[in-house]
Amino acid sequence: MRLVATPSQTVGPFFSIGLDPLRAENLAAPGVTGERVTIHGRVLDGDSLPVPDAVLEIWQANAHGTYAHPEDQRDQKLESDFIGFGRVSTNDAGEFRFTTVKPGPVPGPGNKMQAPHLAVSVFMRGLLNRLVTRIYFPDEPANAQDFGLSLVEEARRATLIARRTSLANQLEWNVMLQGAGETVFFDC
Amino acid sequence: MSASPTRTDANPPQIVGYRRPAPGAQPNYLHPAYVSSIKRAPTKPLIFLPHTLSEITGPTFKKDVISAKALDLTKQGRGEALGERIIVSGRVLDEHGRAAPHTLIEIWQANAAGRYLHKWDQHDAPLDPNFTGVGQAFTDDEGHYRFLTVRPGAYPWKNHRNAWRPAHIHFSIFGPAFATRLVTQMYFPGDPLLKSDPIFNGTADEEARNRLVSIFDWDTTVPETALGFKFDIVLRGRDATPMET
């Protein structure tokens, strides 16, 4: 049996009605171990104007590199209250912010570990499909050997790596939909 | 949902990724007839990402994240919501016809007059104090779900002259993995607005596009109560073979 898949459609401008009940700006309950980090940034369109109606979803492993999912069958630690799911929307200035723990490395192809990263979906009015991207961490030696980053031409890799700010444990990462600094989006 | 199968130290299983859509079976990002796509669609080609553990896993939610009220959108206020009561039900499946059990569905919609309960909705149509337009459900063991709601109204938007969105209900579905995440819209059969709607028509393939249109269904129509509309949602299925790495 082969059924044709349901096409994606835009979330439209009023998604907060349906998606706010499961809004999750903090992915790490107090009992979850790991290095706390806040990631903030903006979503900008092709005119460099803020997108005030975008919603981002985060999917990540915990600090031990474990996904809270039955297909991660490695013998690793998993806190019972860790889901690894975040959902934040942008404000009128196109800004978003969430707090989490830095994930540990997770397996990639060829039995090599992937550098710590967050999987990100971006939805908004104007996009009939979600955009898929990743957030990597700065000053992370494993980035040099990472599977996902290695798929990307070197000049564009920086769009996937959050930047340090003057505040400890606060990183900045922006979503540039178009233009010279266009964020790398994946065919996932 | 928190229980995991026994974890072992055996060699990690090979990753079996999810199928990629056939050309035209999913909408393009840039769809100029949908004007807001022009400044928001990426201009550079997407980079093909073979699926890893990060993409074949995805969030699971505990049953208590939703309330019983979330299944019946007609009775979330002090009185009953206004409009034509309908039952929207169906199954969440994958392309191989396998059920997606215990997966979260979130829906949102305009009221019967075509107005959303949202500060940015300026359409001059009445709000209904007894209708929020938000629903949530988990599929059962066989992928079934069911909502009681009211039929949403069509409403104007500013995409082009005299543009009206066909009546629709927004659906958000997780499925088993990050790769299966889907946000879509359900439409109603025979709606004359469908043929001029750039969002509906953003998917080139007609068979895929028609997946978005629900089917009027006598079997789920409840006498003296509500018309039934069936809306099955088909998520990507697994590839037949593990990824070559």
Catalytic residue, chosen from B34, B116, B145, B187, is B116
Sorted by sequence, the CB contacts under 8 Å of residue B129 that are 6+ apart come out as B77, B78, B79
Structural domain includes residue B17: no
Flag if B28 and A128 touch (Cβ within 8 Å): yes
User: Is residue B210 classed as helix, strand or coil in its secondary structure?
Assistant: helix
Place of tokens 């995805």: B58
How many cross-chain Cβ pairs, A to B, lie less than 8 Å apart?
263
Active-site option among B151, B168, B209, B236: B168
Beta strands in A90-169 (DSSP E): 95-101, 106-107, 113-114, 117-124, 131-136, 163-164
Q: Which stretches in chain A have pLDDT values below 70?
A: 1
Spatial CA neighbour of B67 closest among B108, B106, B100, B99: B106
Chain B: residue whose CA lies nearest to A18: B108
The answer to whether residue B185 scores a pLDDT higher than 70 is yes
How many structural domains compose chain B? Answer: 1
Task: Report the gap between the CA of B81 and the closest CA in chain A (Å).
Answer: 16
- DSSP class per residue in A13-66: TTTHHHHGGG-BSB---TT--S-EEEEEEEEE-TTS-B-SSEEEEEE---TTS-
All domains of chain A in start order, with CATH: 16-176 (2.60.130.10)
Which positions in chain A touch B149 (Cβ < 8 Å)?
Answer: none
Residue B14 located in a structural domain: no
**Higher-confidence residue: B217 or B1?**
B217
Closest chain A C-alpha to B38 CA, distance in angstroms: 8
Q: Clarify whether B18 is annotated catalytic.
A: no
Q: Identify whether B243 is part of a domain.
A: no
Best of B178, B201, B212, B232 to substitute, by most chain A Cβ atoms within 10 angstroms, is B178
CA distance to partner chain A, nearest, from residue B108 (Å): 5
Determine whether B168 is an active site residue.
yes
Amino acid residing at B59: P
CB A154 within 8 A of CB A164: no
d(CA B117, CA B133): 7
Task: Please identify which of the residues B19, B123, B144, B170 carries the catalytic annotation.
Answer: B170
| CB-based contact A171:A138 (threshold 8 Å) | yes
Nearest to A107 among B53, B133, B207 (CB): B53
Q: Where are the alpha helices (DSSP H) in B1-94?
A: 53-56
Q: What is the DSSP string of A73-84?
A: -BS----TT---
Residue range B208-231, pLDDT digits in tens:
999 999 999 999 999 999 999 999
Does residue B214 form part of some domain? yes
- Residue A14 CA to residue A55 CA, distance in Å, equals 11
- In whole angstroms, give the CA distance from residue A115 to residue A139: 11
Binned at pLDDT 50, 70 and 90, residue B241 comes out as confident
- The pLDDT tens digits of the residues spanning B32-47 come to 999 999 999 999 999 9
Task: For residue B110, give the amino acid letter.
Answer: A
Q: Select from A6, A83, A188 the Cβ nearest to the Cβ of B59.
A: A83
In a domain, B111, yes or no: yes
Position B20 in a domain: no
Give A-chain residues touching B178 at CB under 8 angstroms.
59, 119, 121, 188
SS3 A95: strand
pTM as predicted: 0.95
Give the mean pLDDT of B56-77: 94
A74 contacts B7? CB cut-off 8 A = yes
* pLDDT at B7 > cutoff 90: no
CATH of the domain at B231: 2.60.130.10
Both structure tokens of B92? 């969440």
For residue B29, indicate whether it is catalytic. no
| Chain B closest-CA separation from residue A129 CA (Å) | 6
Phi-psi region of B199 (alpha: psi -120 to 50; beta: other; left: phi over 0): alpha
Rounded distance between C-alpha atoms, residue B5 and residue B131, angstroms: 41
pLDDT level of residue B12 (50, 70, 90 thresholds): low
* B182/A8 Cβ within 8 A: yes
Residue B134 predicted with pLDDT over 60: yes
Q: How far is B54 from chain A (nearest CA, A)?
A: 7
B170 is catalytic: yes
Q: Could you tell me the residue range of the domain that residue B113 belongs to?
A: 35-235
Q: What pLDDT shows up at residue B242?
A: 72
Q: Are A10 and B182 a contacting pair at CB < 8 A?
A: no
Phi, psi for B64 (deg, rounded to 5): -80, 5
Chain B residues in contact with A110 by the CB 8 A cut-off are: 245
Residue B199 has pLDDT above 80, yes or no: yes
Question: Which of A15, A114, A177 faces B42 most closely, judged by CB atoms?
Answer: A177
Task: Tell me if B3 is assigned to some domain.
Answer: no
Which residues from B are below 8 Å from A179, CB to CB? 43
Assess if residue B16 is contained within a domain.
no
From residue A94, how far is each of A87, A97, A128 by CA, in Å?
Answer: 15, 10, 19
Query: B205 and A21 in contact by Cβ < 8 A?
Result: no
What confidence score (pLDDT) does residue A9 get?
98
- ipTM confidence score: 0.98
Q: With cut-offs at 50, 70 and 90, classify the pLDDT of residue B243.
A: low
Q: What is the mean pLDDT of chain B?
A: 94
Q: Is residue B82 over pLDDT 50? A: yes
Q: What residues contact residue B96 under an 8 Å CB cut-off, 6+ apart?
A: A1, A2, A3, B237, B238
Read off the amino acid at residue A139.
D
What is the phi/psi pair of residue B62, to 5°? Answer: -75, 150
DSSP state, A148?
Answer: H
